[in-house]
Amino acid sequence: MLIELKNIFKWVNSGGNRFFLLKDINLKIEQGAFISVMGPSGSGKSTLLNILGMLDTFDEGDYYFNGQPVHQLKEKYRSRLYKEHIGFVFQAYHLIDELTVYENIETPLLYKKVSSPERKALVSDMLDRFNIVGKKDLFPAQLSGGQQQLVGVARALISKPKLLLADEPTGNLNSKQGAEIMELFKRLNQEDGVTVVQVTHSEKNAAYGSQILELLDGRIISK
């Protein structure tokens, strides 16, 4: 079991009222699963994903990642955990504008203190695999949206994460570009055994996953 969420609540207080963003979330994700999270806008999809990725905190409940109780861990250990095991892909790509494609992909390795020759090998591999060797010295602004997202995925995968979290990864892409990314996710899931959790609004993209999770008003209404 990679992830286990038990009775997770998250709320914000506004004007004396407690407004629930997430209500009583119970969820188990097996290693190697491919889950698509769906639901109307404002239903809490991003919130859930951020909690899974440990970017955000929750107010009540237990979260076990790889058997470790995340809710009890100090910030330092939590960040070590997600640094090791989780990769993120965002709708808005979030590439660093001042770095080239190559350097963007390389950055996570720098923070993991990977040696220089090893870094070179890993990044070259990744560039090959994503077919973007020719673009490696370009800056994000010189790429199309689809290509930028490709780099985003490459960067998320470079540190060989167990879990890939993607929040509307195809939101800014046209359907052809979107399909390419989805194919890529599927391959990663099936060939490399990477667990994938993606948020999407499109039924078609959701179908790439092995399981669909429906959210409404912060509650899971169907698995």
Partner 1 sequence: MIKNYLKIALRNLWKDKTFTGLNMLGLTVAFTVAILLSVYALFELSYDRFHENIDRIYNVYTTAQSPDGPEVSTAKPIPFALALQKEVPGVEKITKYNGGNVLVTYGDKQLRMEAAYVDPDFFSIFSFPVIKGNEQHLVEDESSIVITQKTAKTLFGEENALGKTVNILQQGRQRPYTISSILEDIPTQSTMRFHLALNFKNQSDFVYADNLTNWEKSNHRVYLKLSEGVKPSQFEKATRSFTALHREKFINDLKRDGVLPDTNGQYIQQRLLPYKDIHFATEKNGTARTSRLYPYLVLGIAFLILFIASANFINMSIAKSSGRLREIGMRKTLGANKFQLFFQFWGESVLIYSLAVLMGIGLAHLLCGQFQTVFRTAASFTNVMGPLTIFAFFTGVVVITLIAGGYPALFMTKLGILQSLKGKMEASGKNRLRDGLLIVQFGITILLISGTMILWDQLEYMRSKDVGFNKEQVIAFPLNGKREDAQAMQLLRNELANTPGIVNITASNNILGLGKDGTSSTSAMGFDYKGRGVTTNILIVDHDYTETLDLQILKGRSFSRDHKSDSLGLVINQAMADALQEKDPLRAHIILNDTVRYSVIGVVKDFNFQGFDKTIAPLTLFLNPKWNMRNVYVKVSGSNPLQSMDRIERAWAKIEPNAEFLGSFLDENIDRTLIKERLMTKMIGSGSILAVILSCVGLFAMSLLVVNQRRKEIGIRKVVGASVATITILLGKEFLKLVGIAFLIAAPLAWWFSFQWLQGYVYRIDLSVLTFLFAGGIVLVIAIATIGTKTIGAALQNPAKSLRTE
Ligand X SMILES: Nc1ncnc2c1ncn2[C@@H]1O[C@H](COP(=O)(O)OP(=O)(O)OP(=O)(O)O)[C@@H](O)[C@H]1O
Structure tokens at 30: 């097996």
- Closest contact distance (angstroms) between CB of 4 and ligand X is 21
Contact set for partner 1, span 75-114 (CB under 8 A): 79, 82-83, 88, 90, 94-99, 103, 106-108, 110-112
Asked if 171 touches partner 1 (CB under 8 A), the answer is no
- Closest contact distance (angstroms) between CB of 141 and ligand X is 25
Asked if 21 touches ligand X (CB under 6 A), the answer is yes
- Binding residues for Mg ion (CB under 5 A): 46
Q: Which does 42 bind (CB under 5 to 8 A by kind): ligand X, partner 1, Mg ion, none?
A: ligand X
- Closest contact distance (angstroms) between CB of 111 and partner 1 is 4
Asked if 195 touches ligand X (CB under 6 A), the answer is no
How far apart, in whole angstroms, are the C-alpha atoms of residue 43 and residue 22? 8
Asked if 149 touches ligand X (CB under 6 A), the answer is no
Sole window of 24-32, 51-59, 64-72, 123-131 interacting with partner 1 (rule: CB under 8 A) = 51-59
Nearer to partner 1, 99 or 212 (CB): 99
> Roughly how many angstroms between the first and final C-alpha of the chain, as a whole number?
17
Nearer to Mg ion, 43 or 104 (CB): 43
Asked if 45 touches ligand X (CB under 6 A), the answer is yes
**Burial degree of 52 (CB within 10 A; 0-12, 13-18, 19+):** buried
Q: Kindly list the residues in this chain that would bind partner 1 in the complex (CB under 8 A).
A: 50, 53, 55-56, 79, 82-83, 88, 90, 94-99, 103, 106-108, 110-112, 155, 159
Q: Kindly list the residues in this chain that would bind ligand X in the complex (CB under 6 A).
A: 12, 21, 39, 41-47
